Amino acid sequence: MGKSVLKIQRAEAGEIKKILTKNEAYTVGARLHLVYLVALGHSSRKLSELHNISFKQITNWVHRFENEGVEGLKDKTGRGRHSALSDEQLDTIKTIVLKQAPSDYGFQSQRWTGPLLAQWIKKEYGLEYQKAQVYNLLEKVGITFEKKLGLISKV
């Protein structure tokens, strides 16, 4: 008979990861721990396999730590791509998702989904988004998607 596997009932792995990534102290600590392992002589490539992080990212953290100390391991503000949609357009999308049905716009559905909303955005604004990107946009305006319940507002 094999050993029993430890199970987590409180939350799913994805939810736990979100908690971890939203906590700057944890993020910096995890990065510092990887820098520490490199200092002990561990390969950034081997660490990347074990921790599912690109070796280039680990190398970047090591260099940033060398140049800036712990401050270099913090996320910089204003980084990343800016949304192609304006705040006004995002508000419009939020209103449509919360107050109107896809059938109001010619779709054969009563509930919005990521792919449907991506089609609407392309038709309305001429911008192409993948399903995952649409869900990120919705989260940005305070809406989350749950499979069983459909779109839900956090507000």
Per-residue model confidence (pLDDT) at position 153: 52
Amino acid type, 3: K
Query: Which positions of the chain have pLDDT values less than 70?
Result: 1-2, 78-80, 146-155
Per-residue model confidence (pLDDT) at position 150: 56
Per-residue model confidence (pLDDT) at position 152: 53
Amino acid type, 105: Y
Measure the CA–CA gap between 131 and 151, rounded to whole angstroms. 14
Q: Any idea where the domains of the chain sit in the sequence? A: 13-73, 87-153
Per-residue model confidence (pLDDT) at position 78: 67
Per-residue model confidence (pLDDT) at position 76: 80
Give me the helix-helix angle, 44-51 and 24-39, nearest 10°: 140
To the nearest 5 percent, what fractions of the chain are helix, strand and coil? 60, 5, 35
